[in-house]
Amino acid sequence: MSIYLPIAELSVNIWILFGMGAAVGFLSGMFGVGGGFLMTPLLIFYNIPPAVAVATEANQIVASSFSGALAHLRKGTVDIKLGLLLLVGGIAGSTLGVYIFSELREIGQLDLIISLLYVVFLGAIGTLMTIESLRAIRKSKQNGGSVARRPGHSGFIHKLPLKVKFRKSKLVLSVIPVIALGMLVGILAAIMGVGGGFIMVPAMIYLLRVPTNVVIGTSLFQIIFVTAFTTIIQSTTNQTVDVVLAFILMVGGVIGAQFGAAAGHKLKGEQLRALLGLLVLGVCIRLGYDLVVTPDDLFSVIAAGEEGGH
Amino acid sequence: MFRLLSFVLLFVMSVSVAQAKEKLQMGLSVDVVPVGSDFAGQDIVVFGAIESADQAELYRGEYDVLIEVIGDLQEAIVRKKDRISGIWVNAAAREYRDVPSFYSLHSRNPIEDVVDPSVLSSLGIGIKYLKAKPVDRGNIEEFLTQGEFSSALRRKRIENLLFSERADSVDQISPSLFRAAVSLPPNVPIGFHTVKAHLFKDGKKLDEVTQTFEVRKVGFEEWIYNLAHEQSLLYGILCVLLAIFTGWFANVVFRKN
C-alpha cells in the first residue's frame, strides 16, 4: 500500500516504512538507544531527501524518547537537575546546528557532511564500545561474574570550577563540561538527525563518571526536549519535517521497542554493548564505503524548492 | 437572387479558406489532478479533432498530431562529484533556469519519421531539443545535449520518469479524431502543466492548441503542506505534540501488558 508524503513529495510504501520503524525500534529497545543513527541513514537509502530524513527523524525521536523516559521517571532513574543542565547546552547547540544545516544545504555539502559526521562518530564510538565490551566479557569470564566499574576521578574535567552537586547521581561536577557536552550533542543532533544518545551515554559514563543506572534515563529525558526543540526549529527554518512520515515511523518504532526491550533482558550488559558496538561499526563502514567508492553516477540534480529555501 | 448568390459565394469561400487552414480542437479529461494520500500517479486522457481538413488526406492518414505535456519552468542545479583526498565530494556545479519540471511527448509514430529533425529542433519539440538557460552563460538558451552538465540533467530527468517520449500513445479513433493517454508518474511535479498539441502534415506545422491542468495536493495533504509552509511554528508544535502523545500512548498500552 503506497502513501503520498506531503512534505517529502513522494509516494512510498507504508509497510516498508512501518517495518523500518519496527526494526529500528526493536534494536533501540534492545540496546536502550534512540536509533536515530540507524534510521536516518536507512531513510536516505530509501530515497527520502536527506533534509527531510534528518528533520523528520528528530520528530520521531521525541516519541521514542518520551516513551522511554516515562518508564525511567517511574523507576526514579532520571537525574532531573543534570538533565536540565545538559538541556541548556542542548538548546543552544540545536539552534546552532539547524543554522549550520541550512548553510550546508545552501552550498550543496549537506549530504557529505552528514555522511562524514556519521562515519567519524559511529567509527569512534563503535570501536570504543566494541573494545570495552569485549574486554568486559573476557574479564567476566575470568572472574565468573560481571564486573562492577568503579569510576575514578581522573582528568581535567573534575578540576574545572563552577561545581554543582547532583544528588541523584551522587556527583559533584562543574557545570562547564555538562553544558559543553549538551551543546555538542545538540549540534550533532540537528545536523545528523539523531537524538545523540549514542554519544551522550558513553560521554556521561566515561567523561562525567555518571553512575550507569541514571545515565540512560537522564539522557532520554534531555533528548525529548532537544529533539522537540529541533523539530520546531527545523519546521520554521527549513519546512522539512514530514509529519506523515514521522507518524508511521513513530508507530512502528514504539511497537518494535517493546519487543526489543524484552529481547534485551535476555542478554548481559556487556554482550549488549558488544553487539551495539558492532552494529554501530557496521553502519559506519557502510556509509564510509559510499564515500570512497566511485559512485555509479557522478552527477546529481536538485530542483528549485528542494534546496536553499523558498 | 443576389442574396442567394452571395450565400453560395460565401460558403465556397469559407470552405476554400478552411481547406487551407486546418484546425485542431483539444480537450482534457481533467482540469485538476488531485494528489491525495493514495496518489501513485494518474493517467489523463487528451482527446481532440482535426477540423477543416481535406477528407481524402485525412483518410490517407497524412496528418500527424504530436502532444507535449510541459511542466512549470524551474531552476535546477546540477552537481558533479570529484575525488578530493580519497572522498567523493560535490565539486563543480552549474545552475540552470527555465528547465521544465516535467516533459512528455506523445505521438502515433516515431517523431523523427514524421517531422524533420531540423524542424523539431527549431520548435523545441522532443527531449533531444529541450532547452534551458545556464545562469553562468548570461541566460542564453542552450540545448540540454550540450555539455556534460546539461546532458546529465536530461539523463537524470529521464531516469526519474520526468522526461519521457512515447511513440505509440496517440490513437486515431477516426480519421479526424485522436485520443492520447498521458500517464503521469507518482513523482509528477505539483503545479500547472501545459498540454500542447501540434498538427503536422508533410512535415510542416499547421496548427497548435494549448490547454492547462493543475497537479494539486488535496484534502489532508494540502492542509499539511500549507500548514507547514504558512504556519510553520504551529506545525512544528503540533508535530511535537503528536510525538509526545504517541510516546505516552505506547507507554500506557504496553505497561498494562
Cell of B143: 540545448
Q: Give the whole-angstrom CA distance, residue A18 versus residue A13.
A: 9
For residue B231, name the pLDDT band (cuts at 50, 70, 90).
very high
State residue B4's pLDDT score: 56
- Cβ contact B81–A291 (<8 Å): no
In this structure, of A81-95, A136-150, B224-238, B241-255, the range with the lowest mean pLDDT score is: A136-150
Confidence band, pLDDT 50/70/90 cuts, at residue B109: confident
Kindly report, residue by residue over B114-158, the tens digit of the pLDDT: 889 889 888 989 998 988 888 887 778 888 877 888 889 999 999
Q: What is the per-residue pLDDT for A247? A: 96
Considering CB atoms only, which of B74, B81, B233 is closest to A236? B233
Looking at residue A155, its pLDDT comes to: 64
pLDDT value of position B211? 94
Return the H-helix or E-strand segment holding B11: helix B2-20
Q: How high is the pLDDT of residue A150?
A: 45
Q: Do A241 and B235 touch (CB under 8 A)?
A: yes
A65 CB-near residues (< 8 Å, 6+ apart): A34, A195, A197, A220, A221, A223, A224, A227, B247
Mean pLDDT (whole number) for B9-14: 51
Are the beta carbons of B231 and A233 closer than 8 angstroms? Answer: no
Flag if A63 and B250 touch (Cβ within 8 Å).
Answer: yes
Q: Where are the alpha helices (DSSP H) in B72-179?
A: 111-114, 117-123, 147-159
**Residue B35: closest C-alpha in chain A:** A4
What distance in Å separates the CA atoms of residue A23 and residue B112, rounded to the nearest whole number? 52
Nearest to B239 among A4, A108, A241 (CB): A241
Report d(CA A164, CA A208) in Å as an integer. 13
Boundaries of every domain in chain A:
10-144+155-292
Q: Could you say which of B37, B76, B240 has the minimum Cβ distance to residue A231?
A: B240
pLDDT at A306: 46
Place B192 in a pLDDT band, splitting at 50, 70 and 90.
very high
Looking at residue B21, what is its pLDDT? Answer: 81
Whether residues B235 and A235 touch (CB distance < 8 A) is answered with yes
Distance in Å from the first CA to the final CA of chain B = 100
Three-state SS for chain A is CEEEECCCCEEEEHHHHHHHHHHHHHHHHHHCCCCHHHHHHHHHHCCCCHHHHHHHHHHHHHHHHHHHHHHHHHHCCCCHHHHHHHHHHHHHHHHHHHHHHHHHHHHCCHHHHHHHHHHHHHHHHHHHHHHHHHHHHHHHHHHCCCCCCCCCCCCHHHHCCCEEEECCCCEEEEHHHHHHHHHHHHHHHHHHCCCCHHHHHHHHHHCCCCCHHHHHHHHHHHHHHHHHHHHHHHHHHCCCCCHHHHHHHHHHHHHHHHHHHHHHCCCCHHHHHHHHHHHHHHHHHHHHHHHHCCCCCCEEEEECCCCCCC
CB-based contact A65 B38, cutoff 8 Å? no
pLDDT below 70 — which residues of chain A? 143-158, 304-310
Which of A7, A243, A299 shows the shortest C-beta gap to B78? Answer: A299
Rounded CA gap, A115 and A293, in Å?
Answer: 13
Return the pLDDT at A193. 82
Are B1 and B185 spatial neighbours (Cβ–Cβ below 8 Å)? no
**Quick one: pLDDT at residue A308?**
36
Query: What number is the average pLDDT over the span B68-80?
Result: 92
Lowest mean pLDDT among A173-187, B80-94, B135-149, B225-239: B135-149
A295 and B152 within 8 Å at the Cβ level: the answer is no
- The three three-digit cell numbers of residue B170, written as one number: 496517440
Q: Determine how many CB atoms are found less than 10 A away from the CB of residue A8.
A: 20
DSSP state of B189: P
pLDDT in the model for residue A41: 86
Residue B139: phi, psi to the nearest 5? 60, 25
Dihedral sign, CA of A40, A41, A42, A43? positive
Structural domains in chain B? 22-216 (2.60.40.1930)
Per-residue pLDDT of A252-265, as tens digits, reads 998 898 888 888 77
> What residues of B are in contact with residue A239 (Cβ under 8 Å)?
228-229, 232
Beta-bridge partner residues of B111: none
More confident site: A166 or B222: B222
